[in-house]
Amino acid sequence: MSHLEIELQQLKAETIKMWSLVNLQLRKGKDSLINLDKDLAREVMLSERRVNAYELKLDRDCENIFALFNPVAVDLRCVLAILKINNNLERTGDIVEGIAKFVTNVDSTFDKKLLEITRVVEMYEAAISMMDEVLEAFDRENTSIARKVFQQDELLDDINIKANAVIADYIRNNPENIEAALYLLSIIRKLERVGDQAKNMAEELIFYIEAKVLKHRSIKEQSKE
């Protein structure tokens, strides 16, 4: 095994560690939301520093590989993809931190009816599933798994699009819960962005393995490519 191959293996291993941390943050964020566990939400906020530290380390590692080995072909695509995935993971960490901040600001547990009609828990679980699947696809270098994410993202988009009308109707009937409802709308917006980050990472993985660029293509085109 060449020195470059060893460095790339280590780079992938560090990326998986960061990815696993972000996915754990997502799970903790969901639990803090459902149970209004403010201590868990604060833990998520504090752990964001670790995500940022991983981002800086991976950036440096990628820069070193460019400087020392001048990778080409699939090796070059690998490093370029990890650079972009690293950025997507850091953004996802920021999004989850934002959700945790909303949880710490809410005065009382979210109305179960509100959680049900907005489908926010379903949306959260779908976002976690997307992140898990793209991680598995990255670990196994399997683009078939990565492509599953494109269809799942449609569910998040659908819930997000319907959220305005659902929450507006809820506020009309429950004006005493307006603050919690607006916080939940903001959380839904953030979860939709998690789906976008997962989709972006799936596209980068396909670029790395198959040398295909899927950006700006429709979901149908991405799934068939």
- For the stretch 111-120, pLDDT in tens is 999 999 999 9
pLDDT at residue 222, rounded to an integer = 53
Write the CATH number for 197. 1.20.58.220
Total count of domains within the chain: 1
**Judging by beta carbons within 10 Å of its beta carbon (0-12, 13-18, 19+), is residue 70 exposed, middle or buried?**
exposed
Helix (H, G, I), strand (E, B) or coil at 74: helix
Between the alpha carbon of residue 106 and those of residues 102, 103, 164, 184, the distances in Å are 6, 5, 19, 10
pTM score > 0.95 for this model? no
For position 22, what pLDDT does the model report? 97
Q: What pLDDT is stored for residue 224 in this prediction?
A: 55
Helix 143-173 / helix 120-140 crossing angle, nearest 10 deg: 170
d(CA 34, CA 115): 8
The most distant pair of C-alpha atoms in the chain lies apart, rounded to whole Å, by: 66
Range of the domain at 199: 3-224
Q: What distance in Å separates the CA atoms of residue 14 and residue 19, rounded to the nearest whole number?
A: 9
pLDDT at position 164: 95
Q: Do 92 and 183 meet the contact criterion of CB atoms below 8 Å apart?
A: no
Of how many residues is the chain composed? 225
Q: Which residues of the chain have pLDDT under 70?
A: 216-225
Cβ atoms of 14 and 137 closer than 8 Å: no
**Phi and psi for 64 in degrees, rounded to 5?**
-65, -40
Dist. CA 197–CA 194, nearest whole Å = 5
pLDDT for 214: 75
- pLDDT at position 216 is 56
